[in-house]
Structure 1
């Protein structure tokens, strides 16, 4: 990295195939923290909430897929009820939404 004077044009680093091939995530076969973050941010709020509820229950999507239809239906109902309760709780906790600015 070099330091340039004030007013000097900024030239961003060039990323090409060589940097992708040398990244730790491709060398090891695991995702980097950046990849995980970007994957998380690409999810919808509903997907994030479902993932959080599954984590609280100690489940994964794969575990749900491996359940029989009846057991999975019961778990899906529990997940939906938990998500609804969290949404309602969140809506009730909204404080400071109304503010009287009159003096």
Structure 2
């Protein structure tokens, strides 16, 4: 025998009874509505879901704080920098303004422990040898870039094939 001590459910069950129903349908309707209401009341968000929602809220809050900090630091960086950061920025700007050949030449001279002044004091044959080394490295770099670009479509087709599987 089912006993429902919940007075709210009982009152709802009683409201659903209609005088035009036969007793069997009325009893079935009362049981169904009582069970339905009990099921609706017992369905709550599990504690794990609540904790997950809290964690998601904390993550969203952290991202928002980081975004605000980045925006404020970006607006602060629009102002000319001073000290070490301006030196680093100037070095970076100088490096990026150089052509690939100039970058390679600088790297080659650094590897050999030479400066531009040392190169200027060398004989013409040694200067030409350094220029040839720079040209060879530049050619190798360009070949590597071309090889990477031609290999990229092949890698893409492999990825597509694997994705299709």
TM-score calculated relative to the size of structure 2: 0.38
- Provide structure 2 residue ranges, at least 5 long, that are not aligned to the other structure: 1-67
CA–CA separation in structure 2 for the residues paired with 1:80 and 1:41: 19
Q: What is the aligned-residue RMSD (CA, Å)? A: 3.3
Q: Which is higher, the Rg of structure 1 or of structure 2?
A: 2
Give the equivalent residue in structure 1 for 2:87. Answer: 32
Shift of 1:37: 1.0
Is residue 2:155 matched to residue 1:96?
Answer: no
Q: Which runs of 5 or more structure 1 residues have no equivalent in the other structure?
A: 1-5, 26-30
C-alpha contact 2:104 2:134 (8 A) present in aligned 1 = no
- Aligned residue-pair number: 84
Q: Secondary structure, in 3 states, of the residue corresponding to 2:93? A: helix
- CA 1:73/1:59 → structure 2, altered by over 3 Å: closer, same or farther? same
Candidates 61, 81, 85, aligned match of 2:136: 81
Compare 37-46 and 52-61 and name the one that shifted more: 52-61
Alpha-carbon offset, residue 35 of structure 1: 1.1
Normalising by structure 1, report the TM-score. Answer: 0.54
Task: State the Cα distance separating 1:90 from its structure 2 match.
Answer: 4.2
Structure 1 stretches of 4+ with a deviation exceeding 4 A read 12-15
Match of 2:96 in 1: 41
Structure in which a larger fraction of residues adopt helix = 2
Secondary structure in 1 aligned to 2:114? coil
